Amino acid sequence: MGKAAATRLTILQKAFELIYINGYQSTSIDDIIATTKVTKGAFFYHFKNKEEMGLAVINEMMEQTMGKMLLEPLLSSENPLNAIYEMMEYLLIQDPYLQIKYGCPTNNLIQEMAPLNEKFSEALSKIMNQMLLAIENAIERAKNLGLVKAAVNSKEVAIFVTSGYGGIRNLGKLYGTNDYYQAYLKALKSYFESLE
């Protein structure tokens, strides 16, 4: 990676980190450059404005991570329903980059920016579509494997499960303890059993 590309990446990484913690609007460009060795001139050389940088964070940082975290394990799983549960458990309990008090980066940005900025909505929709589709396909595959009742509507379940994930992340932010995560996971497991 060239030096210029490294500078750009430094900006995006720090920006992602600060946006995850404080939100997009509360993250100032001065914040980003103060905690890196990047100057304002370099920042505006790489990005036309703050909005373009925010979109790059979504498209180049968040989307990739989400894809690798989701599509790969779900696509090849022998027990798709179980794979979804494991993914949730990983995201909520194991993932070292996500913290209870800061919630889920994607859901945070949706909450903050969806009503305010069409471009952000589009970029975030791609990520959520990835997630919804991955789960829907997994359920569909579970149906074909005879692991889930044929009457189950895959799309509805995907929406239901994805909603639950976003919501429990928000409850985690509020209460700051993973007790709620544990309770949620138990209920999720029961729910999945009801689909068999």
Binding mask 156-185 for a copy of itself (x = CB under 8 A): xx-xx-xxxxxxx-xx-xxxx---x--xx-
Rule CB under 7 A: say whether 41 interacts with DNA.
yes
Write the DSSP assignment of 2-60 as a string of letters.
-HHHHHHHHHHHHHHHHHHHH-STT--HHHHHHTSS--HHHHHHH-SSHHHHHHHIIII
| Nearest-approach distance from CB 23 to a copy of itself, in angstroms | 6
Site for DNA in 42-71 (CB under 7 A): 42, 44-46, 49-51
CA distance 157 to 84: 12
* Residue closer to a copy of itself, measured from CB, 76 or 190: 190
User: Is there a contact between 104 and 167 (Cβ–Cβ < 8 Å)?
Assistant: no
Q: Is 189 exposed, middle or buried (0-12, 13-18, 19+ CB in 10 A)?
A: middle
* Residue closer to a copy of itself, measured from CB, 10 or 111: 111
Rule CB under 7 A: say whether 4 interacts with DNA.
yes
* Residue closer to DNA, measured from CB, 41 or 146: 41
Where does this chain touch a copy of itself (CB under 8 A) — which range of 8-16, 21-29, 54-62, 140-148? 21-29
3-state secondary structure of 186: helix
102, 140, 147, 178: residue in contact with a copy of itself (rule CB under 8 A): 102
Q: Which does 9 bind (CB under 5 to 8 A by kind): DNA, a copy of itself, none?
A: none
Rule CB under 7 A: say whether 99 interacts with DNA.
no
Where does this chain touch DNA (CB under 7 A) — which range of 4-12, 55-63, 107-115, 131-139? 4-12
| Nearest-approach distance from CB 52 to a copy of itself, in angstroms | 20
What residue type is assigned to position 195 of the chain?
A: L
CA distance 179 to 119: 36
Residue 30 CB contacts under 8 Å (≥ 6 apart), including other chains = 40
